[in-house]
Amino acid sequence: MTLATLTAFFGWMTVIHMAILVLAAAVIYGLGDWATGLHARMFGLRQEVTRETFYNWLAAYKLLIFVFALVPWLALTIM
């Protein structure tokens, strides 16, 4: 694998994951009460706990994107 191929791979991986993150955030914010109510009933949780879990998931996913996709792409781009 060449350096250009790896750079392109990590670049597209970053773009795809960021699009998924934005879509998930838009759905959670747009359908917040409905989505948290549905999942709260499914798993027997309070709606506030479910909302907090959604936000924690978004934060963890964003951090994972930065660590495993964005930073390697930046490092390969700098090289």
Nearest alpha carbon to residue 75 among 14, 1, 33: 14
Asked if 71 and 1 count as a contact pair (C-beta separation under 8 A), the reply is no
pTM (2 decimals)? Answer: 0.87
pLDDT tens digits along 36-64: 999 999 999 999 999 999 999 999 999 99
Q: What is the pLDDT of residues 9-29, one digit of tens each?
A: 999 999 999 999 999 999 999
What is residue 1's predicted lDDT score, i.e. its pLDDT?
86
Mean pLDDT, range 2-12, rounded to an integer: 97
pLDDT: which is higher, 44 or 1: 44
